[in-house]
Amino acid sequence: MNPKIIIILVILSGVTLSCQQKNTTALPKNHKIVVYQIFTRLFGNTNTTNKPWGTIQENGVGKFNDITNKALQEIKALGVTHIWYTGVPHHALVGNYKAYGIPNDDPDVVKGRAGSPYAIKDYYNVDPDLATDPQKRLDEFRALVERTHMNGMKVIIDIVPNHVARYYYSLHKPEGRADFGITDDETVEYSRDNNFYYIPGKAFEVPDFPKGYQPLGGENHPLADGKFRENPAKWTGNGIRSSKPSFQDWYETVKINFGVKPDGTKDFDLLPAEYAHKSCREHYTFWENKVVPDTWKRFRGIVRFWLKQGVDGFRFDMAEMVPVEFWSYLNSIIKNENPDAFLLAEIYNPSKYRDYINLGKMDYLYDKVDLYDTLKHIMQGKGSTDHLPELFAREADIEHHMLHFLENHDEQRIASKEFAGDATKGKPAMVLSATIGSSPVMIYFGQEVGEPAAETGGFGSPSRTSIFDYVGVPHHQRWMNNGKFNGGQLSSGEKKLRNFYKKLMNFTVSSPALTGSYIEIHTENRRETTGYNDRIFSFVRWNENEKLLIVCNFNDVERCQFDLMVPEKVIRTWELPDGTYKLTDQLNGGKKKLAILKGRGKVTLNLRPLESVILKIDRNK
């Protein structure tokens, strides 16, 4: 990359949205979105036993009702606009709810005891573990949605279109709806209107488990016999076409057929290329009279059901494993019913990003492969901030759609020894993630108090908070303080960390500059500024009402002293005459000065290890 090139990204909030959206929040009209991901099963659990493979009675479980008004008020006070409740739809689990008409699941095809939230068993109800009264579990979820709305936040849940649990059985499907696969022709591998792919003539076989692994940790269970009845076998969720998948496969799930033939060709109408530039309404009209695969219509019914429960949006699991035409169909239906719906896709292939935004009508995509992976290497001391300018330039046209995060249920906790070993090493990366673009930013519950995910739940190993078993989350539990949600048991360091997140997130949703324009000033400072190294990154954000200088220091041992240079291009764009201007640090409260001489600016900085500054310019000299 030519170091003399200054990359300018002008962000016009709302113009880059994939669909026109109304704004109904109490926040400023053009505001950033902050998503708080709650793993619902774990959030309210006060039990601290953490026995490996522990039962729900031994290790406890969080309920919808544990997420009280007080809890929601504290989350809102963190600066949150949207809550993603993970693990809501009824998924396969090893528990006995036969008294409620729910058939038991087989431990041989369930990961962990509590089960994967991404092995959905019934799309028309919620996980019975999450309810105080399982008979009224959907009512309890609706009450949580209402509480969340009353506290000024919106609700997101998961839809998992690529696969379902090995044993899918919907107990409460609406009248006229049938279970997946109920009308399939099981004698053929593929038919357009089959919901699954089949392996005719072969029965499913449970995978060979690795040495030392046994379902439920070896506990005796009538169904844990190394067998599961499925004949003919179906393709496994990650596309494996063997009747006996491996332990590393998504063996607990089956792949759903969206009208894509086994050779990869598509058995439905394709979108003309010009639809990348058309509105959701035009996409909706395109599909209105088209014949589409049966699976498409089933998911249309599913999202409509959840919208009626008051849900405000969806996080779509492994969206890139489903054809983009389906997303055009489904998302245009969702937006037709709720123009403000929040649509987030889990996608890891950058070559497909623009297709899923423009053709698939996604609002937001995971910025995992580019930003998250780069920041992780920097936090671990393995990467350089010199890689960031090119990364942001590459995504300049879609930056508004790239959701930023440092933790989620799939990724290692920052504080885990396998990641950074210290939650404070995430602070500069969090400042950068929250302020670099106009896109949403997300935090995972417990991140704000430094949760290290050191517990061993059963299935899988530490460093990621278990999504498969019943566990308590110790640092989060100290903040929860037996349901008081006041941080009463936090250490002083944990309180300081949470206060940092609180100050940063609240600034993020209130700053008009963060929906404005951007220029990186890192490249020129690397070339010209003594003491400025590749563990620092700097950039500016502005609009007509606010101008910010932002510097993130990833150095974790020594102070960094240097005179930050503000290039002529920035000073000219901001129309600042020569002179001295006051700067106020929006994170730390200190004061600095910007000296401009002959059209170039200079700010003297002395940054502590891992300290970042967000310097707001006072136009009055």
89/479 Cα distance (integer angstroms) = 27
Query: 482, 458, 455: which is closest to 49 by C-alpha?
Result: 455
Alpha-carbon distance 186 to 200, whole Å?
7
Residues 6+ apart with CB under 8 A from 2: none
CA 6 – CA 566 distance, rounded (Å)? 12
User: Domains, the chain, ranges and CATH?
Assistant: 33-170+262-510 (3.20.20.80), 513-617 (2.60.40.1180)
Give me 412's structure tokens.
């290692």
pLDDT in tens, 109-140: 999 999 999 999 999 999 999 999 999 999 99
Q: DSSP 3-state assignment of 329?
A: helix
- Please report the pLDDT score of residue 172 as a whole number: 87
Q: Angle 280-288/324-337 helices, nearest 10 degrees?
A: 110
pLDDT at 620: 64
Residue 492, class by beta-carbon neighbours within 10 Å (0-12 exposed, 13-18 middle, 19+ buried)? exposed
Please report, rounded to a whole number, the percentage of residues in the chain having pLDDT higher than 70.
95
Tell me the three state secondary structure of residue 474.
Answer: helix
> Model pTM?
0.95
Burial class (CB in 10 A: 0-12, 13-18, 19+), 222: exposed
Residues in contact with 355: Cβ distance below 8 Å, sequence separation at least 6, in sequence order: 276, 324
Element (H, E) at 306: helix 294-308
Q: Tell me, what's the pLDDT at 23? A: 32
Per-residue confidence (pLDDT) for residue 193, from 0 to 100: 98
* 3-class DSSP assignment, residue 196: strand
Encode 367-435 in three state secondary structure: CHHHHHHHHHHHHCCCCCHHHHHHHHHHCHHHHHHEEEECCCCCCCCCCCCCCCCCHHHHHHHHHHHHH
Q: What is the pLDDT of residues 446-475, one digit of tens each?
A: 999 999 999 999 999 999 999 999 999 999
Positions in the chain short of pLDDT 50: 1-18, 20-27
